[in-house]
Amino acid sequence: MIRFGPAGNSDSFYAQGHKHSFEAPAWLRGMGLSAYEYSFGRGVRLTDETAALIAAEARAHDIAVSVHAPYFINLSNPDPEKREASFRYILDSARMVDALGGDRAVVHVGAVMKMERAEALKNCRNGLREAYARLDDAGLAHIHLCPETMGKYSQIGDLQETLDFCLLDERLIPCLDFAHLHALAQGGLRESADFEKILDAAEKVLGPDRARRMHVHFSTIEFTAAGEKQHHTFAEPAFGPRFECLAPLLKARGYAPRIICECKGTMAEDAAEMARIFAALL
């Protein structure tokens, strides 16, 4: 089934008096949502006790949990110490999503730095293989890493790179961030045909069955010549992309992705709007 949910907690969650993320699953279910992404972008800082509370609430309200691994991960970096830190961030994220009762960890794979792009890509491929070897050794073989499409040219992870990474291991699930792809294309996702090309590419590389289970980040975005600048909300019509262009394609192709909204401050409300748009097609 297709699931919708936010990355983190909306401003309204706190405005309504909620203080703790273990209150989020019931709140999200009340909005008709069924997914939740916990962000460890600035570091994995969550106690096992709190993780257990969130996991119990997520099970009770049928909320699928994923996490976003720290932004510091850079598997292209050849420095042994920095590389080891990246593996540690990945393992810590995998352990915590397991404790949260989830199964997916979104990962920013790396950056070009001062290398040739081909060299950076080689380092990233080797890094993902090593990450799974470590997950296997840690008893976390069931966790799906989700390499994310990135929004800046200086980062590793355009559409083709991200899809190719997922050929390294069946457990890798692409995280297609349509806002990032829109920014990279300088506002190129304007109509359904633009989205269709992305889905076609995913199916060509991974096959329809793997493509239909993709992880998705969706929001509107502002960009510059360098790519991504900042996320915006659905209520700001000046910014794209728009989910109305993607939703009919997901229905027609029988996709069942997990769609996480990263809109600024209104992620739950805009996730609920996506759920309404999709439901209207059924």
Among the listed residues 191, 202, 199, 197, the one whose alpha carbon sits nearest the alpha carbon of residue 245:
191
Region of 165 on the Ramachandran plot (φ > 0 left; ψ -120 to 50 alpha; else beta) = alpha
Q: Which among 95, 97, 36, 93 is positioned nearest to 62, based on CA atoms? A: 36
Q: What is the pLDDT of residue 37?
A: 98
Q: Average pLDDT by consecutive 10-residue portion of the chain (282 residues)? A: 97 97 98 98 95 98 98 97 98 98 98 96 98 98 98 97 98 98 98 98 98 98 97 97 98 98 97 98 94
> How much is the pLDDT for 277?
98
Report the SS3 class of residue 107.
strand
Cα–Cα distance measured from residue 21 to residue 64, given in angstroms and rounded to the nearest whole number: 14
| DSSP secondary structure letters along 123-183 | HHHHHHHHHHHHHHHTT-TTPEEEEBPPSBTTEE--HHHHHHHTTS-TT---EEEHHHHHH
Domain count, the chain: 1
Q: Which DSSP string corresponds to 71-99?
A: TT--TT---HHHHHHHHHHHHHHHHHHHH
What's the domain range around 109? 3-279
Domain holding 214: CATH number?
3.20.20.150
Predicted TM-score (pTM) of the model is: 0.97
Report the alpha-carbon distance of residue 176 to residue 230 in Å, rounded.
17
Q: Is 10 helix (H, G, I), strand (E, B) or coil?
A: coil
